[in-house]
Amino acid sequence: MLSLVFALFAVATSAWAISWPLILDAGSTGGNVWIELTYTIHVPQGPPSTVTTGPWFFWCGLQPQGGGVVQPVLQWGEDAPGYVNPNAPFPHIWAMVLWDVPASGLNNDVSRISNGVWAAQGDQIANSASFNSGFWTQTASVISGQATGASTSTNITANQYFHDDAAHDGGANFFLCESELDGQQTNQWNFPVLFTDIFIRAKNSNGVQALCASARPFSDGNGFANMTGFSMFDANTCHFASLVLTPP
């Protein structure tokens, strides 16, 4: 049930979201798609103590055409099925969880949800999502701070969750990063969320540099997305040194 609720939130536009997309245009790129994403998220402070409704999610992910999303998510106010570090000796506020939210009607509309990784404020968590030979694999691993060493991973059969096409390449032309805040107190979001070392790799180089080079800091009224330090890691791979999502 929770996963179904999440699926609805994840595919619909959330009530309160700053959302940064990079969409490879199918026509002008000859059907190029993203096949790998890595990023590090820096665990922020918790929501203000007055906030009792949620959940609040911060994430970057890849969306296959036809719906659904592959997304390592830092979440508050939403339980994971279990935790890899249930006795972590710090307040259990934020957990990193790997979600595969299926396209509508696939996998009985049930998301694959990994066990969570509790992480403390200031911890850095390295995340990846990659498509390889019909499988989507995700990993999350705490690389510094109090939860260092805690990790989780998933590996799913892509066509069980997402629509396939003749290219059999995962079909994920849509990258995005988002603050996805649900509940009635989203206007109390009052802290920045920092992402670093963002690498987004495409199947080939078609359209990649032009698309990524066009990214500019912006606001959509629900917050600010400020990406900095763009470079091409290689011809197929965009790199951004950082992204900060901040409240309006």
Give min distance, CB of 214 to ligand NAG, in A: 15
Which pair of structure tokens corresponds to residue 243? 């992204």
What's the start-to-end Cα distance of the chain, in Å?
A: 32
The two structure tokens encoding residue 195: 């992402």
Candidates 226, 230, 232, 239; binder of ligand NAG (CB under 6 A) is 226
Applying CB under 6 A, the site for ligand NAG has a residue count of 6
> Taking the complex as a whole, how short is the minimal distance between the CB of residue 226 and ligand NAG, in angstroms?
4
Residues in Cβ contact with 85 at an 8 Å cutoff, skipping those fewer than 6 apart: 117, 118, 147, 150
Q: Is 230 in the site for ligand NAG (CB under 6 A)?
A: no
As measured in angstroms, the least distance from the Cβ of 224 to ligand NAG is 6
Site string for ligand NAG, 149-168 (x = CB under 6 A): ------x-------------
Are 225 and 177 spatial neighbours (Cβ–Cβ below 8 Å)? yes
Question: Taking Cα atoms as reference points, which of 174, 161, 165 lies closest to residue 105?
Answer: 161
Please report whether residue 86 would count as binding ligand NAG according to CB under 6 A. no
> Which residue in the set 28, 45, 52, 228 belongs to the binding site for ligand NAG (CB under 6 A)?
228
The correct pick among 137, 185, 188, 209 for binding ligand NAG (CB under 6 A) is 137
The distance of closest approach from Cβ of residue 22 to ligand NAG in the complex, given in angstroms and rounded to an integer, is 17
Which is closer to ligand NAG, CB of 178 or CB of 182? 178
Nearer of residues 207 and 223 to ligand NAG, judged by Cβ:
223
Q: Which of 53, 109, 135, 239 binds ligand NAG (CB under 6 A)?
A: 135
CA 107 to centroid of chain Cα atoms:
20
45 binds ligand NAG (CB under 6 A): no
By CB under 6 A, name the binding residues for ligand NAG: 135, 137, 155, 217, 226, 228
